[in-house]
Structure formats: C-alpha cells, structure tokens
Chains A and B, each alone.
Chain A
Amino acid sequence: MWEAIRVSIELSIVTTVILLVIAIPLAYLLSFRSFRGKRYLEALIALPIVLPPTVLGYFMLLLLAPQGFFGSSWSWLFDTSLAFSFFGIVIASVVYSLPFAVQPIQQGFRSVPYEWIEMSQTQGLNIFGTLRQVILPASRGGVLTAVALVFAHTMGEFGVVLMVGGSIAGETKVASIYLFEQVELLQYEQANIMALMLLCFSFVVLSLVNSLNNRWVIGGRP
C-alpha cells in the first residue's frame, strides 16, 4: 500500500513541477496575445476535461508504445520503453492534467488589471520582469489553485495511468490502481483505508486552497 502511495506522490510532484513550467507561458500566451488558431489551441488544451480517461490513455499508449512515433524515438535515444514505465505515466499525467494547470492560471492572469502591466512596462520591465514582479504575484491565487488541482488530480488518477503504465508495483502502480485491485481481490479492509486516505487528502487540499485564496484576494483582507 505504502509503495503505491509513494508512486502516486512522486508522480504528483513531478507532474506538478513540469506542468507549472509548461502552463505559465501557455497561460500568458492565451491571456495576453492574439494569434491565429488561438481558439483551437484553447480547445486542444481543454480536451482532456471532456475526453474519457481511457480514450486519452489509449491514444497516449499508441503514441508512447515502442511502435508509436514518440515511443520509438525514445527507445532509439535511451534504449528503454516509455509505455509501462514511470516516465510514460508522467507524460500521460502531464497531458491529462494540462487543462487543470492552464485554466486557473489563465483566469488569474486575465484578472490582473491591464493598467498594472502597462505601468510596469513604462517602469522599464520587460515581459519576464512584468511576469515575475506583477502578473505572477497578482495572480498567485490562480497559480496556487492550479498547483493544488494538478497535485490532487494526479493523486487520484486511474484510467490514463492504467492504460499507459499498467500496474507494475513500485513503478506504475498508483494509489487508485491499488484500491481497484484490492476491491477485485475482495480485500475491503485495505481498500477502505486507501479510499479514506484519498478522500481525506482531497478534502485537506481543497480546504487549504480555499483558505489561501481568501487570504490572497488582491487588495483585500483574509
């Protein structure tokens, strides 16, 4: 059980860090720039919300399998398979949780008064300076929500991980797959403990996000 929880926590941390790096520039692009195909890019990013996890997992498996485009390149470069490996489920998790990272950050960025951004430009701050000193601090509630959502979402991931990673103990068997297996084996005591732990975890994360978001309301008090 603890091994499955360790894999879930490791997967959640790695996915969250990777998604922050990807989602901040993407959210900036979608919030402050106009370009051709912007609506299609937004739809593409939001796709994992509506797509059944098994469908997304299936596509990911096709892509990451040794015969797939990405998987074959990876095998050629590193002489190892992406499918049914920890790296494979990291990639699948990143794709699956992308909208949960981009959308809250994008909402946060859009709520920043544009005159603050203009002011920072006239104070000599370039795009990166403005992002670091004005936009990110002003939308930290959105960033925090994204971090919490991605982390919690990845902790409870099932369908995509099962399709791409299978259930290899210590490598790809995450908490929710462990729970599923315990139910199949009629080990309800273990299943109850795991289900309760995941429930408590989700509740604590959401409460923390709400309380910090209230405290960080721009110009407001807790």
Chain B
Amino acid sequence: MICISLQKRMGLLNIHADATFSHERIVISGKNGSGKTSLIRLIAGLEDADQGHLSFFGETWFDSSKKFKIPAYQRKAACVFAKPCLLPWLSVADNIYLGLSPEQKVGARDAMQEVVRTLSLHDLMAKESIHLSAGEAQRVALARAIISLPKLLLLDEPFSAQSPKMRRYLQKWLIDFQTHLRFPLVMVTHDNDEALAIAERRWHMRNGKLICLEGNRKTGVTPVEWSK
C-alpha cells in the first residue's frame, strides 16, 4: 500500500491529504489552484511536507516526526508534467535515455523500441528536441518517464497538448500499459471524460483538501458537483 498523510502550507493554501492506494490508476481532479500539482510534487519528493508521513509498500519515503526523507532521485517516482522539460542540446533518443547508465540503456533497448513504436516517436529519434511540436515533446517526456522503469508514475496533465484523436489513443495505451505492468499511477487531469476513461479510483482536491471518492469510478459524480 502507498499511504499518504501529508500537510503543507503553501501561501494561502493548506494542502491536506490522507489517502491509501495500491497498484491502481488514481485520477485527481479539481479546480485550478486547488493543490493537485502540489500533491504530485509532495509524493515525488520535490517538496517537503510540513507534517505527515508517506510510505511506499512499507518503505518510508517521508516522516516529519523523525525528520526523515528519501530524496526524489531515490524514490523512482517518475513525473510527467504538462511542460515536457526536454533538454534542448540532446536528441530525442538521448532525452528519453536520460538518467540511465550505459548498461541500463542496453537492457532497455527492447522496451525502448516498443515505447517508441506505440508512442509514434520512430521518425523523431534523431531529431533535436527543440524541433518537436508541443504534442511530440509531451510524448517524448512520457517515454522518458516510462523507460526509467519507475515504481510509481505521476502524471500531471500529460496529454494536454495532444490532438483529440491522439489523446484518446494515449488514454487507451496508458490503461493497457498499466494493466499489463500493474504499477501505481496517479494522474491529474481537468478533462472529465479522460478521468472517467482512465480512473480506477478518483480523488478530488478542493481548496487543498484531498477527498477520496470511494466505490466504482462511474458513480455518477459529475464535475458540476465537484466544482461546488
């Protein structure tokens, strides 16, 4: 189980998250500024909570009472943000391989071919990353996160720059990929259709407070109710 019990004050917003989940697809929705991205950053280790505890299948990642923290680079929680953050002096292939040792690169060759094929990146591999469109860059960032074989995948509006057709394709691909490997996935999206398509469980952020919506993903909770 991944157990989250975190509190952090960020300006006027008080982030307060208590939740547990396992190898499933969690989708977080909520208004702009409600703290969704901050929660993702807290889980990834990019921010420290003021108080609380975070554990990943028995391994403590953060414990404020013991002043203990596993740094982000040791958590193996890969993040994909709406902004792809590709390194402009590297080719697309080198961007995807970022963080892998030479041995890991050799080991990841088959996975790389599969990811490149399914994310339609084959024609782009030798290109410089500054020549990519926004949608292509986002898919490269997704490939980079996946190729590092993360323990946990954190996605924050990862398909926001995709065309509707590509977006639907990627949603389906993500579900198949996660179903096959069964890794925990937390995704932030504003798109209710996307949330319904991907989520096994849905969370909602309201003014920094995390509300876990229990039960089936199609319980009829509408975005209108959530925006109250």
Contact = CB atoms under 8 A, between A and B. Distances in A.
A118 interface: yes
Interface stretch (A20-28, A34-42, A122-130, A198-206): A122-130
B76 interface: yes
Interface residues of A, number: 20
A119 interface: yes
Given A115-B81, A133-B98, A219-B130, A121 B46 contact: yes
Residues of B in contact with A, size category: 20 to 34
A134 B46 CA distance: 17
B55 to A, nearest CB: 19
B77 interface: yes
Given A115-B81, A119-B79, A121-B46, A126 B87 contact: no
B179 to A, nearest CB: 23
Interface string B95-135: 00011000000000000000000000000000000100000
Contacts of A115: 81, 83, 85
Interface in B46-105: 46, 71-79, 81, 83, 85, 87-89, 98-99
Contacts of A119: 79, 81, 85
Contacts, number: 63
A124 B148 contact: yes
B87 A116 contact: yes
Most chain A CB neighbours (cut-off 10 Å) among B71, B99, B130: B99
A120 interface: yes
6 contacts: A115-B81, A115-B85, A120-B73, A120-B98, A124-B99, A219-B88
Interface of B: 44-46, 71-79, 81, 83, 85, 87-89, 98-99, 130, 144-145, 148, 154
Closest 6 CB pairs of A and B: A123-B99, A121-B72, A219-B88, A119-B85, A122-B79, A121-B73
